[in-house]
């Protein structure tokens, strides 16, 4: 039987590191003293300090479910450093960023992307933002793109932050939401005023350089009515032989008739435990679009959630997950239809190879008041060998008769008929198989700006070899 050989993700671009020079780190583990130390370092307002400590309490009392999901046995919180501050403050000019950090982001292409195609960039290194800038003409439209901590101390935005921070993802949501609430650091605040359409994306990039550390950035985006924003986030880390942890949080508020596209290329190293929480709430006529590429991490729990809370609101989720050797990636999405005439469309793909485990997990809930709802979920999985696993676990809960909900899933290998069809058009077998696998991932790459689509395709390097078996 002809087999398809697919090269593993090429991580050499990302697997470099710099020595922690003169950085500040708290001790390993998680105690009220450590949480207070972080709060002191950040000069938190009193409400935030209390909030952090209450989250620690919730974290200590919560437990992970033991009947579903990948094991996180290898994650020992006593050995995780929750705060590492590089020896620099945040700059708005790359020239002023320390060389090793600047070189890190140069290698990752961030300054170049900023020059060529972005309206603003935030770059986080370990626990702190080291660079943040927004183009003048964007700021002049009233768009706010700044680090969350500065916004929290800025009297123009402080109240807004307090009213929204961890209201959409409360610390009681799950154990690692509580952990995030206790030790969060860094992350961005974006505010798009009413009627503003930002045609060029904003981007945040998260780099975790420190060994045995955690990154807990918080992204808060408020898009007012009749506005548009495309926000891109990327992340990576060098590989170590000890665990790193990412427990970030993203909260998105989409106003009436507004549209927010949130794109992510996740490429954490294979020692990373990625326990991330992302949630959007959408008002009347609004749209949230998720574009999600998951390529990294040792273990991932990632289910961006959309709450369609206004009449006619919409959600689109497009995702791809690539699970290779040593990876157990449990990803998917959740949608709650909580108003009439709402609609959701989910289209995901996954590839498993070399013993990788990919699980698509989803929930679609249609509440009794969500009359006239339409929802469609489609997931397709490609298995490239029998050492790997691919599981599909989609749940649907419909609580009104006035809804149309459909779901379909498919799992298998590359179709011999499709290969034959292409070969009959003069294409070699190796190229035919390559085309099919590239096309399989096309649902995400075509939704990204060109530069990011190129990066994503570079992450999946393909070697097609036909063997006679």
Partner 1 sequence: MSNITINSLPAQTWNRLDINSAVVDTAEFTPYCDGGSTDNDIDIKTGMGEEFNSELSSVPVFKIENSGKAVVNDYIFTDNTGNARRDSISLSKGESMIYVQKFNTELSLGAFAVQTKIILDDNASFTLVQIQKMGANTFYNDIGAELGKESQFRLIQIILSDDSTYTGVRVTQNGDNSDFDSTVAYKAGGDGKFDINYIVDQYGKNTNCNIISNGVLYGNVVKTFRGTIDFKEGASGSKGAENEDVLLMDDTVRNKTIPIILCHEEDVEGTHGATIGKIDEEELFYMQSRGIGEKAVYALLADARIAAAASKIPDAETRDAFLASL
178 binds partner 1 (CB under 8 A): no
Cβ pair 243, 212 in contact under 8 A: yes
Cβ pair 125, 86 in contact under 8 A: yes
The one segment of 17-25, 76-84, 85-93, 398-406 that binds partner 1 by CB under 8 A:
398-406
Residue 1 or 468: the one with the smaller Cβ distance to partner 1 is 1
402 binds partner 1 (CB under 8 A): yes
399 binds partner 1 (CB under 8 A): yes
Minimum Å gap between C-beta 165 and partner 1 is 24
Residue 123, SS3 per DSSP: strand
170 binds partner 1 (CB under 8 A): no
User: For residues 38, 41, 44 and 46, what is the CA-based torsion angle, rounded to 10 degrees?
Assistant: 70
Q: What are the structure tokens assigned to 37, written together? A: 């130390």
CA pair distance 469, 436, nearest whole angstrom:
21
Of residues 356-375, those binding partner 1 (CB under 8 A)? 361, 363, 368
Cβ pair 209, 238 in contact under 8 A: yes
Instruction: Work out which of 308, 398, 448, 460 binds partner 1, going by CB under 8 A.
Output: 398
The CA-atom distances, in angstroms, between 23 and each of 88, 258, 319 are 8, 41, 36
Total of chain residues touching partner 1, rule CB under 8 A: 38
384 binds partner 1 (CB under 8 A): yes
Residue 393 or 454: the one with the smaller Cβ distance to partner 1 is 393
Neighbours of 427 (CB within 10 A): 15
Instruction: Work out which of 412, 438, 458, 465 binds partner 1, going by CB under 8 A.
Output: 412
CA pair distance 216, 238, nearest whole angstrom:
17
| Contact letters for partner 1, residues 39-68 (x by CB under 8 A) | --------------------------x-xx
Q: How many helices (H) and strands (E) does the chain have?
A: 12, 25
Instruction: Work out which of 1, 136, 155, 241 binds partner 1, going by CB under 8 A.
Output: 1
Minimum Å gap between C-beta 337 and partner 1 is 12
Minimum Å gap between C-beta 220 and partner 1 is 25
Question: Which positions ≥6 away from 134 have C-beta within 8 Å?
Answer: 119, 120, 143, 145, 146, 202
Task: Give contact residues for partner 1 (rule: CB under 8 A).
Answer: 1, 65, 67-68, 361, 363, 368, 381, 383-386, 388-413
């Amino acid at each position: 039987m002809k087999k398809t050989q697919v090269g593993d993700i090429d991580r050499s671009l990302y697997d470099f590191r710099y020595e922690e020079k003169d950085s500040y780190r708290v001790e390993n583990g998680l105690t009220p003293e450590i949480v207070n130390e972080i709060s002191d370092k950040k000069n938190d307002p009193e409400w935030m300090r209390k909030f952090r400590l209450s989250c620690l309490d919730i974290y200590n009392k919560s437990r992970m479910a033991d009947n579903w999901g990948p094991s996180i046995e290898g994650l020992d919180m006593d050995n995780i450093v929750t705060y590492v501050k590089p020896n620099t403050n945040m700059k708005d000019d790359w020239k002023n960023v320390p060389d090793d950090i600047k070189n890190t982001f140069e290698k990752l292409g961030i300054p170049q992307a900023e020059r060529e195609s972005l309206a603003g960039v935030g770059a986080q290194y370990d626990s702190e933002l080291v660079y943040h800038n927004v183009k003048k003409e964007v700021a002049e439209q009233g768009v706010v793109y700044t680090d969350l901590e500065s916004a929290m101390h800025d009297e123009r935005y402080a109240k807004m932050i307090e009213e929204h921070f961890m209201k959409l993802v409360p610390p009681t949501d799950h154990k690692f939401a509580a952990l995030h609430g206790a030790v969060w650091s860094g992350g961005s605040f974006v505010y798009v005023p009413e009627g503003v359409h930002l045609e060029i994306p904003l981007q945040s990039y998260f780099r975790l350089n420190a060994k045995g550390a955690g990154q807990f950035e918080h992204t808060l985006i408020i898009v007012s009515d009749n506005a548009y924003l495309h926000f891109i986030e990327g992340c990576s880390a060098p590989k170590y032989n000890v665990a790193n942890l990412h427990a970030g949080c993203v909260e998105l508020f989409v106003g009436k008739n507004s549209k927010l596209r949130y794109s992510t290329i996740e490429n954490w190293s294979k020692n990373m435990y990625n326990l991330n929480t992302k949630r959007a709430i959408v008002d009347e006529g609004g749209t949230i679009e998720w574009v999600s590429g998951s390529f990294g991490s040792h273990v991932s729990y990632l289910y961006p959630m959309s709450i369609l809370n206004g009449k006619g609101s919409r959600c689109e989720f497009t995702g791809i997950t690539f699970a290779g050797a040593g990876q157990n990636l449990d990803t998917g999405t959740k949608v709650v239809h909580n108003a009439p005439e709402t609609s959701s469309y989910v289209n995901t793909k996954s590839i498993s190879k070399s013993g990788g485990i990919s699980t698509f997990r989803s929930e679609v809930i249609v509440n009794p008041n969500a009359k006239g709802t339409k929802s469609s979920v489609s997931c397709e999985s490609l298995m490239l060998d029998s050492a790997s696993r691919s599981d599909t676990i989609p749940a649907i809960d419909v609580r009104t008769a006035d809804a149309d909900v459909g779901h379909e899933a498919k799992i298998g290998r590359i179709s011999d008929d499709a290969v034959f069809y292409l070969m009959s058009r003069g294409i070699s077998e190796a190229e035919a198989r390559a085309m099919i696998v590239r096309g399989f991932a096309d649902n995400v790459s075509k939704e990204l700006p060109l530069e990011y689509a190129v990066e994503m395709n570079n992450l999946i390097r393909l070697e097609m070899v036909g063997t006679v078996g």
